[in-house]
Amino acid sequence: MKILLIHADFIEYQARKKAVKSAEDIENKDPVRVEEALVVFSSVEKKDEKAKDKVISNAVKEILNVNEQVKAKSIVVYPFVHLTHEPSSPAAALDVVKGIEEKLRKKGLNVKRSPFGWYKSFDIKCKGHPLAELSREITAEGAEEGEENVSEALKKEKELKSEWFILDPAGKRHSISLKDGKIAGFDFKDYPKLEKLTMYEMAKSREVKEQPPHIKLMQRLELVDYEEGSDPGHFRYFPKGKMIKSLLEDWVNQNMAAYGAMEVETPIMYDAEHPSLKDYLNRFPARQYAMQTPNKNVFLRFAACFGQFLMTHDASISYRNLPLRLYEMTRYSFRVEQRGELAGLRRLRAFTMPDCHAVCRDIPQAKEEMMRRVEVSKKIQKGLGLLDDLQLSVRLVRDFDKEHPEHLRELVKSWGRPALVEMWDKKFFYFVFKQEWNFVDALDKAACLTTDQIDVENAARYKLKYTDSDNTRKEPVILHLSPSGSIERVMYALLEKYHMESLKGSHPTFPLWLAPTQIRLCPLSEKFHKDVMKVAEELEKEGIRVDVDDRMESVGKKIRDAESEWVNMIAVLGDKELKSRKLAVRFRETSKVKDMTNKQVVDLVHKETSGYPNRPLPLPKLLTKRPVFYG
């Protein structure tokens, strides 16, 4: 059975003419209008006839799941044979849609069903939020075809019992609770973003009902867009977006190399029946893509853990090698995030994850190494311009805190601001301590960027050993670090941050090292094109991303267009500039104009981008040579 679910402001339909001989008899052909409805267009298929009751139950389960998220006032069951090319018999189809209607009514919902077997006219107004248009394939076996694999850890996560508190840098704990939609127990006056993070985590509301602002920005700036030819949560990157993504990867790679991590590469798919991997899958709170190859039942990785652990298992490791740091920029990792949680670059199904594991001698060495990694991560996030926007949260097991009470205090003290802490009564996952650096966006949703964990299980699971100083074989402790979070999520955080800054009246712009075009040259007229091209060549030789607006447009139009593209510097060149040998450079961030020589421009760019990676201009230098990728 196939269904199409539309969350609508209204639907209005009217029966016109019988489409099949077995059409239902109806007394009234007047138009029917239903406000604030979840409309379920339904096609019953031939294969459903053998298990109608199971199909009905699974369809109702899926409809209820979606309605729980969109909270429509009414459900409209609308028979719609055109969703399938293998329809069931009319009699079977009527039984199924009637069964769905009846079961939904028994759940206490207001349900309408349009007449079966009639040609109908209809008018519908879709709400247009991320959950407003959803399709499902219902089967007798599961709630839908291709139901995601869910780990035991993810199921048990709902059973977690924990204590929440705020820990300040002085080491004082403030017990907190959620009462009447507010957080009690701590004064958040000076920490509004921490309050929003706390509400987000304690309320555990993950679904997104509004489109995050970064989505329009990533599309309008021709950075990223949805790929409709793929699974939801997969994206296409236009040249400018790909360059930014690559530079972010370069920045993380550069800092991880300086930290001493050894870069490796591992496969993206693994054998789901491998004993160690199978066991780990059920200890990791993530949903997997599963598939059947000609040889094996496999899953797509959701992190680099599998490959790095298997690599470590086969290595000969001495205590002198510890901590052993392995690192991979995973292109890509995959998680089958729930549909209602997918939201642009914030939460997606295919992502680029920097993943660094440190094999440590014991817990004391792991704690020391984690604090070293904190400083590495701070440098990365500061370079991205996000460090001051992040909020620290920590999850740990009570027994670990009793044995190592200083570690949590040391971490929060080094952070310098209060942190949210969730303490579990017992260990549910493979880690006993986990820190997360969270970004809170324009919709008050939180997203984890940097994270690190102390893993006390996987050494035994993967049979990892090192030879100690007394020549005995021992199991290590493992740290799991993503120093920046997924690269896509970094892009999301930057765009959301710039959007929030623009609401305060500022002119958002990428830092110069990330800007696709660092300076745009705008000739006053066609006669200055050769002179502009000479300037562009001089700047290019210095590694500057420069382009030229050679269109037959007014200077005002060229400047406005450059502003809308967030070009950092816009330089006009005419007779005055040729005589003075200086460019009239307009800075987007301040809107100020300054006369600058070519050398001054070069010196400025080099100063602001010093220490950062560099890549060439991602598009043709002349604007007339460029295609339009979006809009």
Q: Answer yes or no: are the C-beta atoms of 400 and 422 closer than 8 Å.
A: no
Top CATH class, 2-147: alpha beta
Residue 141: predicted pLDDT: 67
What is the tens place of the pLDDT at every residue in 273-326? 888 887 777 666 567 888 888 888 888 998 999 999 999 999 999 999 999 999
Question: What's the chain's average pLDDT?
Answer: 92
What is the tens place of the pLDDT at every residue in 375-386? 999 999 999 999
- CA-based nearest residue to 467, from 324, 319, 315, 312: 319
Residue 386: predicted pLDDT: 97
Residue 285: predicted pLDDT: 55
Top CATH class, 157-268+301-494: alpha beta
Distances in Å between the alpha carbon of 418 and those of 164, 172, 187, 363, 391?
Answer: 13, 9, 11, 25, 9
Cβ-Cβ contacts under 8 Å for 564 (sequence gap 6 or more): none
Minimum mean pLDDT range among 134-148, 156-170, 243-257, 266-280: 134-148
Burial bucket for residue 16 (CB in 10 Å: 0-12, 13-18, 19+): exposed
Angle, CA 209 vertex, CA 204 and CA 210 arms, to 5°: 125
What confidence tier does 161 reach under pLDDT thresholds 50, 70, 90?
confident
The pairing of strands 74-79 and 32-43 is parallel
What confidence tier does 128 reach under pLDDT thresholds 50, 70, 90?
confident
Q: Answer yes or no: are the C-beta atoms of 244 and 510 closer than 8 Å.
A: yes
What is the tens place of the pLDDT at every residue in 39-94? 999 999 988 887 888 899 999 999 999 999 899 999 999 999 999 888 988 888 99
DSSP-based three-state secondary structure for 489: helix
Distances in Å between the alpha carbon of 335 and those of 133, 152, 301, 345?
Answer: 21, 15, 8, 13
What confidence tier does 153 reach under pLDDT thresholds 50, 70, 90?
low
What is the tens place of the pLDDT at every residue in 563-612? 999 999 999 999 999 999 999 999 999 999 999 999 999 999 999 999 99
Mean pLDDT of 223-236: 94
Share of the chain above pLDDT 70, in %: 95
What is the tens place of the pLDDT at every residue in 459-470? 999 999 999 999
What is the tens place of the pLDDT at every residue in 107-123? 999 999 999 999 999 99
What is the tens place of the pLDDT at every residue in 323-365? 999 999 999 999 888 777 788 999 899 999 999 999 999 999 9
Q: Answer yes or no: are the C-beta atoms of 57 and 96 closer than 8 Å.
A: no
| Structural domain boundaries in the chain | 2-147, 157-268+301-494, 519-625
Question: Tokens 């993380």 sit at which residue?
Answer: 252
Looking at domain 519-625, its CATH superfamily turns out to be: Anticodon-binding domain (3.40.50.800)
Which pairs from 375-381 meet CB under 8 Å and 24+ separation?
376/255, 376/256, 376/258, 376/259, 376/483, 377/437, 377/450, 377/452, 377/481, 377/483, 377/484, 379/255, 380/251, 380/252, 380/255, 380/450, 380/483, 380/484, 381/437, 381/449, 381/450, 381/484
**552 vs 144 pLDDT, higher one:** 552
Q: HEC profile for 100-160? A: HHHHHHHCCCEEEECCCCEEEEEEEEECCCCCCEEEEECCCCCCCCCCCEECHHHHHHHHC
Residue 148 has pLDDT above 60, yes or no: no
Q: Output DSSP code: residue 68.
A: H
What is the tens place of the pLDDT at every residue in 519-566? 999 999 999 999 999 999 999 999 999 999 999 999 999 999 999 999
